[in-house]
Amino acid sequence: MSFELPPYPYDLLDPYRRIAAQHSGGVVDLSVGTPCDPPPIHAVHALAESDSERGYPSSVGSEEFRVSCRKWVKRRFDVDLKIENNIAACIGTKEFVVSTPHFLRLRNPEKDTVLYPEVSYPSYAMGAELSGCRAVPVRIDDDGQLLLQELEQSDINRALMLWVNYPSNPTGAVGDLESIANWGRSHSIPVFSDECYAEFVWGQTPQTILSKDLSGVVAVHSLSKRSNLAGVRAGFYAGDEDLVFWLKEIRKHSGKMIPGPVQAAASAAYSDDQHVEEQKQRYRERLDFLRSCFDSLNIKTEFPQGSFYLWVESEPDGSWELVDRLASEIGVIVAPGTFFGSPNHIRVAAVQTLETLELITDRLPR
């Protein structure tokens, strides 16, 4: 069967943006998790001053970039990695998420199934479909934990890989990565852990799937959220030596390279942690503010364990109705849970400044 091209999810919000725009001050867009805050200034300077734009950049990542990644992983997670064997660059992490099933299937054509959380970032499933694989969701419980024990044996046998994402987009849940890694190893299924929100955890210590054992696991990290550098597209993957080797070699052949100036900026960003602490405080304040706004609308919210999203329950199958209500009543655009696999929720991204969020205050019922 030919591939049926779906609409891009966020394009479906355009009618609601027009509704929200009718409010004084315009739309307050909390639908896409795109940063609004400034990146670290030393990273911006490195981007402009690296003098690395002439030659082709290294696909695997410059030594400077990989060393900065290795040192950050050591500082943040106390994990030792080798830059020659365990770390390689990717052009942001969305392209890595979408392209990896195809690259792994070239290695193991007898495997055709990508496992992923049933409520999750939509690119896990889309990457499987674009690779000609089966996208099989893994059920989660009310706390956002994977119910791997409920998988059919036939799906386990056909599994090419398992995606996990903690802290979760969209739920904010934090999971037991060590037990998931052990499950993958026991079933000979590589586990790929998308950890782009790892530093945004509340009252907990950041975690990585690499902590105990690198075998059979790969962690994926991005500067988009950590350092407000979504526009430069820089990230890295790290872990199992055999998996990293295969992926970095095939990515060389496919011409996947972070531009040289971007690698210089990324190196500078990973070498500094203070700006991340400042960003965490911004997100904490915004999440608290948004929760108070929803309280005024009699909409119950819970503070997330991690990430910078509120995962708000709607009426059953009422995701789009709540999107409509918020656009109409307070000029706010949010993402329906249907984008992520749940028709019973909305996702609210704390990605506007407090000054912009305060527009909501005058629109709330008195």
- pLDDT bucket at 213, cuts 50 / 70 / 90: very high
177 and 117 in a common domain: yes
pTM, two decimal places: 0.96
Q: What is the pLDDT of residue 221?
A: 98
Q: What is the pLDDT of residue 219?
A: 98
Q: What is the pLDDT of residues 100-159, one digit of tens each?
A: 999 999 999 999 999 999 999 999 999 999 999 999 999 999 999 999 999 999 999 999
What's the average model confidence in pLDDT over 165-174? Answer: 98
47 and 174 in a common domain: yes
Mean pLDDT over all residues of the chain? 96
- pLDDT bucket at 236, cuts 50 / 70 / 90: very high
Residue % of the chain over a pLDDT of 90: 96
CATH of the domain at 246: 3.40.640.10
CATH of the domain at 286: 3.90.1150.10
The yes-or-no verdict on residue 245 having pLDDT over 80 is yes
144 and 284 in a common domain: no
- Would 3 be classed as within a structural domain? no
- Would 4 be classed as within a structural domain? no
- Would 2 be classed as within a structural domain? no
Please tell me the distance from the alpha carbon of residue 175 to that of residue 172, in angstroms, as a whole number. Answer: 10
Q: What is the pLDDT of residue 282?
A: 98
The DSSP secondary-structure symbol of 146 reads B
336 and 261 in a common domain: no
Burial of residue 198, with CB atoms counted within 10 A of its CB: 0-12 exposed, 13-18 middle, 19 or more buried = buried
219 and 92 in a common domain: yes
- Would 19 be classed as within a structural domain? yes
Please tell me the distance from the alpha carbon of residue 222 to that of residue 94, in angstroms, as a whole number. Answer: 9
Question: Cα 2 to the chain's mean position, in Å?
Answer: 29
Q: Which of 246, 270, 294 is the last residue of a domain?
A: 270
The yes-or-no verdict on residue 3 having pLDDT over 90 is no
175 and 71 in a common domain: yes
Please tell me the distance from the alpha carbon of residue 143 to that of residue 176, in angstroms, as a whole number. Answer: 12
Total domains present in the chain? 2
Of 339, 284, 344, the residue nearest 31 (C-alpha):
339
300 and 263 in a common domain: no
Place of tokens 């962690």: 219
294 and 182 in a common domain: no
Burial of residue 15, with CB atoms counted within 10 A of its CB: 0-12 exposed, 13-18 middle, 19 or more buried = exposed
- Would 171 be classed as within a structural domain? yes
Bond into 261 cis (ω within 30): no
The yes-or-no verdict on residue 32 having pLDDT over 70 is yes
Q: Which of 270, 290, 321 is the last residue of a domain?
A: 270
Q: Which of 235, 253, 270 is the last residue of a domain?
A: 270
319 and 286 in a common domain: yes
289 and 190 in a common domain: no
Q: What's the domain range around 279?
A: 9-30+274-363
Please tell me the distance from the alpha carbon of residue 303 to that of residue 285, in angstroms, as a whole number. Answer: 11
288 and 152 in a common domain: no
Question: Tell me, what amino acid is at 59?
Answer: S
Place of tokens 């959220």: 225
208 and 80 in a common domain: yes
- Would 254 be classed as within a structural domain? yes
What's the average model confidence in pLDDT over 348-358? Answer: 97
- Would 288 be classed as within a structural domain? yes
- Would 357 be classed as within a structural domain? yes
Q: What is the pLDDT of residues 286-298, one digit of tens each?
A: 999 999 999 999 9
- pLDDT bucket at 2, cuts 50 / 70 / 90: confident
What's the average model confidence in pLDDT over 48-66? Answer: 94
Q: What is the pLDDT of residue 1?
A: 61
